């Protein structure tokens, strides 16, 4: 686990947003965190239920997105990118 991830209080939920104008439909987010993401009919990622996946899975999906279209935040503070 990366150092900055350990700075997030354990009782904080991670919020997930997708910039659909940046999404190219690569699908790595769906592969890494299928409970949190899916591709819609336009082949763009949409957020389902971030709480259905582990924090590590959400981070892996965000870090693996080739266009950095996945944004993570907690308690109003931007975490990634």
For 8, other C-beta atoms within 10 Å of its C-beta total 16
Whole-structure pTM value: 0.85
Q: Residue 13: which CATH number?
A: 3.30.70.20
Could you give the CA distance from residue 70 to residue 31 in angstroms, rounded to a whole number? 14
Looking at the predicted structure, is the pLDDT value of residue 7 above 70? no
Number of structural domains (the chain) is: 1
- H or E element: which one contains 63? helix 55-64
Q: Domain containing 12: what range?
A: 3-80
34-66 pLDDT, tens digit each: 999 999 999 999 999 999 999 899 999 999 999
pLDDT greater than 80 at residue 30: yes
């Amino acid at each position: 686990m990366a150092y900055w991830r350990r700075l997030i209080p354990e009782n904080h939920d991670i919020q997930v947003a997708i910039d659909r104008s940046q999404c190219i439909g690569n699908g790595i987010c769906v592969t890494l965190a299928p409970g949190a993401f899916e591709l819609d009919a336009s082949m763009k990622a949409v957020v389902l239920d971030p709480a259905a996946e582990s924090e590590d899975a959400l981070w892996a999906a965000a870090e693996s997105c080739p266009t950095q279209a996945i944004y993570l935040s907690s308690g109003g503070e931007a975490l990634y990118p």
